[in-house]
Structure 1
């Protein structure tokens, strides 16, 4: 059942305005208050009041830019994010990466490393290890111990983002683990858990080469296949079951129907190339496969005929599967992310299929972006988006529940 429309009150609008101002300062470090007022549609009085609160809260600082001070006239004072305003613990759990980091407000890393024992370690063991790392970094003199604002986790597998549960994580071997609750109990801060495709989408569409557009489709191609959709600037999230996407039936060899994962994934490509390791999707098999896939990509990019043909066919099958989605939702951009995005024959096959489909049908051709953002960096950007730069009308991390994801200047200023 759809939720009822929320009517924001003055406090909720202030939360939104704070997030919008922080986002603008991130985009334009050193921006002046008058410039901020024009960009947000707020009155200068409202903006100054919110800026004073942000400075008092330790999130923003006011100073002159590093350039030389003008000889005459008023100093060019601007607003800047404080590096230590908020810290976010970020965890990427994929077949390719078992990594974590702690980042500050401007995205700089104060700690990073690999999580030991994966695959094989239990969720409780991983959480205990992360807690040790956080406690160690909080003892450092250059880190404000009370500034841990939240934990962001991205998972390659089936995710229930609302319950913050790892339904199935094949690359690690976890099933039905309440990861969000485990982390929250250990660190006593809020947790945002997303599928890796949604984390990549947030990172690329809001902070990467892609620009904020109302409608965007991301295809994630690694050992498995997943996707993410933004509509009106908002993620269409529910139970994020990547296995459901992988099970979509497509035309296979000789016209026989095959699952998408059997014809377009990294596992399928390595099977076609005769990879000697296991390909059953088990954690142990994935460890070997993630080492074999970069070698196969190098072969394809070097022009090996067999590798080129296999990667091109996989890209063609992936594109065919999602052309109906393109026709239905008319995305303004399509983002290709994941390890297979580094394989030129794979990328070119998708582009050819997209051009062949949109040309005769007169469907507007969406921008096509190849993402280079790593899983850990995507998790960092997703975490900062959740805990610093985005608020909903009820004050929780996220995006506004209606419209394009932002309040207009008039709406925001009315109660700012």
Structure 2
């Protein structure tokens, strides 16, 4: 293939992605309106949409599509309900599940992993793949229209290579996680750290739409984070940008799971909350205890919501510690908004503690995130395998025959 041919194909793929994105945003919509928004000619849009109709990714309907010319019958385009599917998987100390969604991002079914212990990665991968295959069979989707899986994981990942680089809470070694999951699932896989995926999704469909500079912190059993500057997720030299859980905090002499003394994790995380409520001792942070600890953390958050004074006090104190750390984040990254994700981050008492300390030093708004883990995993898969330059249109054309 010569360079001119390759360039033409790249342009065609990019235009196809743009058309699908426009339909996702504006459906139902007529071809001439797509051409106007995309800045392409109507003949070019006709060619692209015919290809997408043939692949059964989109369909024509009679109705109230925008952009039709006066005096002509209304013919609009919309996404096909059964055009394409993706899998979303979450692997973290507090949650392990798999789900399936259509190309609109609507979750069709979700299934937890049948696990009592997450200390062995090979076991988690094997059971996760089995649960996913059971779910695919139960939902009854066309397997040839299943495009790929988005995996969000607690830890530092290199999305380019698909490696899990480190995970202090899971205590898993460095490994080619995407490669292992692709083999187990028999699907293309895209992996991302959970905070990065949440912030990307917040930007794509949540409260950060139109925002170019933002940060997100996920206080779960451990603390993760992500930073976006000028519309781009920051990764840093070793893909650790935004991981504030291991910032050194003045006044803490507790040893962290990473081996250091006095990390933010030891005073503001879910584990810290459980320890301060005397629900678990500090020396029980091993991976084999994590699933039980996740349930205890849900209980602690529920206690605070039911006005338990002790739980409220502990969550508020932990939130204050995070508020101190976020002053540094605001000073360095200068975000327009900081999101707190997860059940702990959304808890009124924790959020109040964060704001109480942070507001004395910054006017950056701190607000609960508006996207969930399952939305983040599904969005990751859709962006990688459906609304993508690399969409396998041939696979779908063959499935349509």
TM-score (norm 2): 0.82
Q: Does 1:327 align with 2:336?
A: no
Structure-2 residue corresponding to 1:104: 102
**1:126-167 Cα shifts (integer Å, max 9, x gaps):** 444455455556667952221221121111123232321233
Contact 1:277/1:285 (8 A) holds in 2: no
- Contact preservation (8 Å) 2:111, 2:135: no
- 1:14 matched residue in structure 2: 12
> Structure 1 residue 232: deviation in Å?
2.8
Q: 1:378: which partner in 2? A: 376
**Structure 2 counterpart SS, 1:35:** helix
Offset, 1:223: 0.8
Report the 3-state secondary structure (helix = DSSP H, G, I; strand = E; otherwise coil) of the residue aligned with 2:228: strand
The answer on whether the counterparts of 1:279 and 1:286 sit within 8 Å (CA) in structure 2 is: no
**Residues 314-334 of structure 1: CA deviation (Å, up to 9, x unaligned):** 222212212222223322222
Matches within 5 A, 1:174-185: 174-185=172-183
2:24 is matched with 26
Backbone CA RMSD of aligned residues: 3.2
Note closer, same or farther for the CA distance 1:115–1:253 as it changes in structure 2 (3 Å cut).
closer
Aligned partner of 1:313 in structure 2 is 317
1:310–1:129: structure 2 CA closer, same or farther, 3 Å change rule? closer
Higher RCO (CA 8 Å, separation ≥ 6 residues): 1
CA distance in 1, matches of 2:311, 2:295: 16
Give distance in 2, aligned partners of 1:174 and 1:242: 20
Instruction: Quickly say closer, same or farther: Cα 1:259–1:278, change in 2 above 3 A.
Output: closer
Equivalent residue, structure 2, for 1:289: 293
My pick for the range that moved more, 113-122 or 214-223, is 113-122
Residue 3 (structure 1) aligns with: none
Corresponding residue for residue 355 of structure 2:
351
Query: How has the CA–CA distance of structure 1 residues 331 and 276 changed in structure 2, closer, same or farther, with 3 Å as cutoff?
Result: closer
Deviation at 1:218, TM superposition (A): 0.9
Q: Which is further off, 150-159 or 230-239?
A: 230-239
- Counterpart for residue 250 of structure 1: 249
Q: Do the aligned partners of 2:345 and 2:351 also contact (CA within 8 Å) in 1? A: yes
Partner of 2:232: 234
Q: 1:339 to 1:140 in 2, by over 3 A?
A: closer
Give ranges in structure 2 of 5+ residues lacking alignment: 1-5, 254-260, 393-401
Tell me if structure 2 keeps the 8 A contact 1:261–1:268: yes
For 1:290 and 1:140, locate their aligned partners in 2 and report how far apart those are by CA, in whole Å.
28
> Which residue number corresponds to residue 403 of structure 1?
none
- Which SS does the other structure have where 1:358 is aligned? coil
TM-score, with length taken from structure 1: 0.79
CA contact (8 A) 2:95 2:291 kept: no
Distance of aligned partners of 1:44 and 1:332 in 2 relative to their CA distance in 1, 3 Å threshold:
farther
Alignment partner of 1:83 out of 64, 81, 84: 81
Identify the range of structure 1 (234-243 vs 160-169) with the bigger mean alpha-carbon deviation: 234-243
Going from structure 1 to structure 2, the CA distance change for 1:275 and 1:164 (only over 3 Å counts) comes to same
**In 2, distance between residues paired with 1:369 and 1:86?**
34
> Partner of 2:104: helix, strand, or coil?
coil
Tell me, in whole angstroms, the C-alpha distance in 2 between the residues paired with 1:357 and 1:135.
50
Q: Report which stretch shifted further, 206-215 or 124-133.
A: 124-133
Give 1:120 shift. 4.3
**Contact 2:226 2:241 (8 Å CA) reproduced:** no
In structure 2, distance between residues paired with 1:316 and 1:31: 49
Unaligned stretches of 5+ in structure 1? 1-7, 360-364, 398-416
Does the CA-based 8 Å contact 1:170-1:281 persist in structure 2? Answer: no
The equivalent of 1:270 in structure 2 is: 274
